[in-house]
Structure 1
Amino acid sequence: MVLFWVGLLAALSQALGSLQYPEVPEEWVLLHVVQGHIGAGNYSYLRLNHEGRIILHMQSLKGDADIYISDKTLRPNFDTYKLQSTTCGQDVVVVPGDFVRPVGIGIYGHPSYIESEFEMKVFYDQTALTTNEIETDSYSSDETSGQSQHAQGPEEVMDEEESILWTILIGILKIILEILF
């Protein structure tokens, strides 16, 4: 029975490792890699000055860090934001080129963990037009309610499915670890 659980853990570990960072298109240019730690219930703030369409890929290496984005405040949080990603594991946010710069980025350490460790890769999408940028994803947002709505393209549906898969796999892994230890 123990061998079954060990085999299952090994398979889950391999599956989770392959989902860490998906391949990115050749048109995306890596601008920065930001690593950091954040305490439970705390925020760490970053400022995005780059123009154009920017993609933020953040992986929680330990704990659970979430991203809140705003072009109205440099200190966005879960009450004042335009875009957000609050998954357990990988968080991805696309900052449209028409957002007013500088853009505020808030990294939040989920209170379920004493400390969260994250790595965020910042990409510039050089396929987006810089003068009259045309967004294929239409979006509307309400800064006060903190709700972000946008049409989902095939890539976003895939990201959402990966997020659900991550949540399920991590839940199973937690149950297995509780049973074993």
Structure 2
Amino acid sequence: MMLSCSALLLALLLPHVRGFLNLLEDDGVPEEWVLLHVVQGHIGAGNYSYLRLNHDGRVILHMRSLKGDADIYVSDNTLRPSFDSYKLQSATCGQDVVVVPGDFARPVGIGIYGHPSYLESEFEMYVFYDQTVPQDPFDKGSEDGRPQSRSPQAAEDDEQEEESIFWTILIGLLKIILEILF
């Protein structure tokens, strides 16, 4: 029984390991890059999926569309970048690569866009940290050594997100109360 479970687990993990090894071989990923995350997801046509990058330093986003066509939009001004507001982008029909510089303010917003020519897009994104770029421990703030404050746009995005969660909970509670009463 234990042997069959191990064989099943190996069969399920093998395609992912093979895909990662193919990524390393085919795209010439340097040995100095450290894999931080692997993100997999689905996105509907014309929709966005948002991620937040908090890791400091130079980070490389390497995404491939497994089905359909997903594109990457990146910004350090907003946590919800789009094709109307972004600083970096990759909108190819194949592999999408974006290099997030170490001097971008954190958190960095990442928007994954599902191209409307496909009903659904499936993607796999590898997030690498580039160790070859030296980090200056004193370069984390302003010139006087004090940390920089977050941008007003980032604070506004956080406030809108908190407000949205509040309204979602409130509406859910009202629905439950109305169901009980009627």
Deviation at 1:41, TM superposition (A): 0.1
CA distance in 2, matches of 1:36, 1:87: 18
1:130 aligns with 2:106: no
CA distance in 2, matches of 1:102, 1:122: 15
CA distance in 1, matches of 2:46, 2:23: 29
Task: Give the conservation status (yes or no) of the 8 Å contact 2:23–2:29.
Answer: no
Give the equivalent residue in structure 1 for 2:95. 90
CA distance in 2, matches of 1:76, 1:21: 29
Q: Deviations over 1:15-55 (max 9, x none)?
A: xx889951200100000000000000000000000000000
Q: Which structure has greater helix proportion?
A: 2
Change (3 A) 1:39 1:21: farther
Q: Deviations over 1:122-144 (max 9, x none)?
A: 000001111179xxxxxxxxxxx
Task: Give the conservation status (yes or no) of the 8 Å contact 2:65–2:123.
Answer: yes
Give the equivalent residue in structure 2 for 1:7. none
1:47 aligns with 2:57: no
SS of the equivalent of 2:129 reads strand
Deviation at 1:89, TM superposition (A): 1.2
Kindly provide the amino acid, as one letter, of the partner of residue 82 in structure 2: N
**TM, length-normalised to structure 1:** 0.62
Give the equivalent residue in structure 1 for 2:31. 26
Count of residues paired in the alignment: 117
Question: Where does the alignment leave 5 or more consecutive residues of structure 2 unmatched?
Answer: 1-21, 139-182
Deviation at 1:121, TM superposition (A): 0.0
CA distance in 2, matches of 1:32, 1:71: 19
Q: Deviations over 1:66-99 (max 9, x none)?
A: 0000000000000000000000010000000000
Q: Deviations over 1:97-131 (max 9, x none)?
A: 00000000000000000000000000000011111
SS of the equivalent of 2:37 reads strand
Aligned with residue 125 of structure 2, among 120, 142, 145:
120
Task: Give the conservation status (yes or no) of the 8 Å contact 1:59–1:120.
Answer: yes
Q: Which structure has greater strand proportion?
A: 1
CA distance in 1, matches of 2:36, 2:93: 24
Which consecutive segments of 4 or more residues in structure 1 shift more than 4 A? 17-21
1:106 aligns with 2:111: yes
Task: Give the conservation status (yes or no) of the 8 Å contact 1:20–1:59.
Answer: no
Change (3 A) 1:18 1:107: closer
Give the equivalent residue in structure 2 for 1:74. 79
